Structure 1
Amino acid sequence: MRELVYYVAVSLDGCIAGPYGEFDAFLVEGDHMSAQNERFADAVPTDLAAALGIDQSGGGFDTVLMGWNTYAVGLPMGATSPYRHLRQIVFTRSHLDDDLGERPNLEVTDEDPVEVVRRLKAEPGRAVWLCGGGQLATQLVDEIDRLVLKRQPLLFGAGIPLFAPGAYEPRAFAEVATTAYESGVVVSEYVRR
């Protein structure tokens, strides 16, 4: 069965973005980048990977899930299909009829994310990457099999939390790997117990 992997950068105070969705404070240079770009090459936007010469042919993901706000970050720059090397599913209830122009391998849906993930897990294929955001992660908390957290050495003070506050019971995960980099970024990986 395919895994749902929540692979995301997070601040020390638990935010995946600032209060207005900004994420430009996250470190994108340093010794952590080459290791992450090698292991998670398919989590780099298609055009950026091509510009950097990153081979995305053998990655661990074949599908990426994101909420509308995560997806919309690239729209002002014309990125209507940011990960077109993957099947992209964007969840929204209010932007179904937006004219986004050409968007290869991208589906916008108002389906229940849990039902979509359960259907994806039953299909053959590689892992499914949960890109963000916190509201979607909270909806999918019981479907997440693996967490890969890129803890950044910064505090946002306020922002979008890794998981939105919600009425869910505690979940247990087991740490399987942690790597600290000179940049100050610490990548920790956990699997559901």
Structure 2
Amino acid sequence: MRKLTYFVAATLDGFIAEVGGGDPTATGHFLMEGDHMEYLFQNYGDTLPYMARDALGIAGELTRFDTVLEGRKSYESGVAQGIPDAYLHLKHYVFSATLTEAAPTVELVRGDALAKVKELKRQEGLGIYLVGGGALAAELLPEIDEVFVKQHPTVMGKGIPMFNGGFSPDRFELADLKRFDSGVLFLSYQRRG
């Protein structure tokens, strides 16, 4: 069975974007230079938008993920920047009850998000990458197998939390920790049991 990984950058206080949303990398809360970036490029190149992969010369077979899941607000942030599908190298699903159209390369999911994820996990393939946002992460929490946090040494004060909405408490176990001179930590948590 395939694994669903919530692969997300967060501040020390657990926020993934500012209150209004938008591109979280443009706010200065997430460090885009440092030794953690090289590690990310080498080990998690599948998670990078296709433009970054092209610029870095990352090509070839996918190694970790072949599918990406995204909520409406995260998706619309890219569309607003003129990027209707940042993940052309992955099978891309956008979950929304209100969105009526998406790029031809994106599959719009308007129904039961948990049922769709269970269906995707039963299919053959590599891992499934949840890019955001916080509302979709809260909704999909029962099916998340791994939470991979790129924790940045910054505090935002307020914003969109990693899990934004109602959900039942759950527990994960720390499986791996990588420290970088940049101050960024990569934390991998696996679902207990």
Give TM-score, length-normalised by structure 2: 0.93
- Aligned sequence identity (%): 38
* Counterpart-to-counterpart distance in 1, 2:60 and 2:179: 25
Shift, 1:165, TM fit: 3.9
Query: What is the Cα deviation at residue 80 of structure 1?
Result: 0.7
**Do 2:138 and 2:163's aligned partners in 1 also have CA atoms closer than 8 Å?**
yes
Deviates more, 1:27-36 or 1:50-59: 50-59
Secondary structure in 1 aligned to 2:111?
coil
* Conservation of the 8 A alpha-carbon contact between 2:44 and 2:64: yes
Aligned CA RMSD, in angstroms, stands at 1.3
Amino acid at match of 1:84: L
- Secondary structure of 1:5's partner? strand
1:158 Cα deviation after fit? 0.7
C-alpha displacement of 1:114: 0.2
| Structure 1 gaps, min length 5 | none
1:56 offset after TM fit, Å?
5.1
Residue 32 of structure 2: aligned partner:
28
Distance in 1 of aligned mates of 2:141 and 2:97: 19
For the residues of structure 1 that align with 2:40 and 2:52, how far apart are their CA atoms?
14
Aligned counterparts, 1:2-13, within 5 A: 2-13=2-13
Structure in which a larger fraction of residues adopt helix: 2
In the alignment, the residues of structure 2 paired with residue 31 and residue 151 of structure 1 have an alpha-carbon distance, to the nearest angstrom, of 14
Q: Runs in 1 of length 4+ with deviation above 3 angstroms?
A: none
Give me the TM-score of the superposition, normalised by structure 1: 0.93
Q: Give SS of 1:157's match.
A: coil
Distance 1:45 1:141, change over 3 A: same
Matches within 5 A, 1:20-169: 20-22=20-22, 23=24, 24=26, 25=28, 26-55=30-59, 57-97=61-101, 100=102, 103-168=103-168
The number of equivalent residue pairs is 188
